[in-house]
Structure 1
C-alpha cells in the first residue's frame, strides 16, 4: 500500500494555536499518521526556541510572543509562510538526506523556477550575525539569498516521530526591517503564499515517494489542539518558565 501524506487546510491563527496544532500533529505522527500543513499568523508574533530565556522577547518590543516546542533561536513571524511536517517513526519516512536540508532544497528549486537564486549554507560556512534572532544565525542547511537567510527550520522528536516546522520569509517586517524576504530580493511577489504552499506540497510528495491527500483535522486532533493550547502555549507561566 502506498504511503500517504495528509495535506491539511491552509490556515491563519494566533501563536498559541499554531504551536499547539503543530504539537498535536506530532502526537498523530507517533500513531502513524503523516501530515503536512502550511499556515500564517493573525498578528506579528515572536516565537522563542524551547531553551531560550524569556528575556529574549525584548528583541521585538511590544510584539506578542510564544515559546516553541522546538529548539533554536527566536523567530519573528509576520510576512512569512510557515510549514509543519509531522512524520511517523517508520524508517521509510526518514531515508535519504535529512528533512531540514530536503525541505530547503525543495524551496530552493521552487524559487529557481520562479527566477530567484538561493543556496544552502554548507558545513564550514556557518556564521552567527546576532545573538537572539534565528534569521541572524546561519547554520548548515539554512537557505540564503544574496547572503541573507530566508528559510530556517527546527525539529522535535517524540516516540520516534518527527515534527519539523520552519519559516519562509516573504517580505520584510517593520518589526525586523533588517531581515529581507524572498519577495524583497525579487522586487515583486514571486508567488502568493497559498500557491507556494501547494507547490511545495507537491515537491514534498515526490521527495518522500508518497501520495498527498487533501484532508482535514480529526475531531480528536481539534480537541487535542485546544487542550495543549490551554495547558501550554496560552499559559504565561509555561511560556516564561526559562
Structure 2
C-alpha cells in the first residue's frame, strides 16, 4: 500500500505512469479508504487476519489466492479527466488476455446496491465489474490526488477458505490446477503488454527510483503500519 501511494505521488508530481501487479504473502483484508472498521463487520473467521487500509475506495477485499494490480496515471493523460472510462480501459485488456487463455469473462453490465452495503467488496456489484458465470471475479476502485489517479483491482483466481461464498475464476472454470507460478507470471506479463498497448503509453512495472523506495519505506513505517490509520473511520 505504501508503494502504491508513492507511485500515485510520482504520477502527480513527475507525470510517471506505472502499472504494478503483486500478490500477498498471507491472507489479508484491505479496507477501503472511506470504510468503517468496526467489530460488527468482523466475522469470526477473519478475526486473526491482518488488516491494512488502502488509498482507494470501495469495500474491504480479502486478498488471498489472487492477483492484485495498481495503476498510477498522471493528470495530464486524457483518461484522468474521465475516471469511469479508466475502469473500462483497464478491464477490457484483462478480458482479452483471459479470453486468450481460454477464460471467457465479461463486464457485469448493471450495478446493484443494497440498503446496507456488504463489508466485502465482492458482495457489491458495479456494471464495470468482471464476471464469470455471473460471479464477480474482478473489481476495481480509485483515488484521485492533484489530478492524478491510482486505480486498484483484485482478480480472484481461487476460492479462499476465509470467504468461501466468493468462488475464484479457476474454480468456476474447473481449472484450479492452473494456479501455478508460471501461469501467474505469464498472465501478468500479458496483462502489462495489453494494457500498455490499449492506452498507447509506455508503462513502468515495479520499477522504483531510490527516492520512491525511500518514500515508500517512510510511508510504511509512519502511516500504513500505524494502528490509527487502519482503524480510522
How many residues are paired up?
223
Report runs of 4+ in structure 1 exceeding 6 Å deviation. none
The structure with the largest helix share of the pair is: 2
Root-mean-square deviation (CA, aligned residues, Å) is 2.1
* CA deviation string 1:44-94 (max 9, x = no partner): 000111111111661322111111111100100000000110011113454
**TM-score by structure 2 length?**
0.88
Contact 1:101 1:142 (C-alpha < 8 Å) held by counterparts = no
Given the alignment of the two structures, is residue 169 of structure 1 paired with residue 156 of structure 2, yes or no? Answer: yes
Q: Which residue of 2 aligns with 1:8?
A: none
Match of 1:44 among 10, 22, 27: 27
Check conservation: 2:80, 2:148, Cα contact below 8 A: no
Deviations 1:193-221 (A, max 9, x none): 22111101011111111234567211110
Other-structure match for 1:53: 36
Query: What is residue 58 of structure 2 aligned with on the other side?
Result: 72
Distance 1:148 1:127 in 2: 16
1:87-140 CA distances to partner (integer Å, 9 max, x unpaired)?
Answer: 1111345478711122222111112112222121224x4355961110110112
Match of 1:133 in 2: 120
What are the equivalent positions in structure 2 for 1:200-219 lying under 5 Å apart?
Answer: 200-212=191-203, 216-219=207-210
> How far has the Cα of 1:231 moved from its partner?
1.7
* TM-score, normalised relative to structure 1: 0.85
Relative to its length, the structure with more strand (as a share) is 1
Matched, 1:238 2:229: yes
In 2, Cα distance between the equivalents of 1:163 and 1:130?
Answer: 23
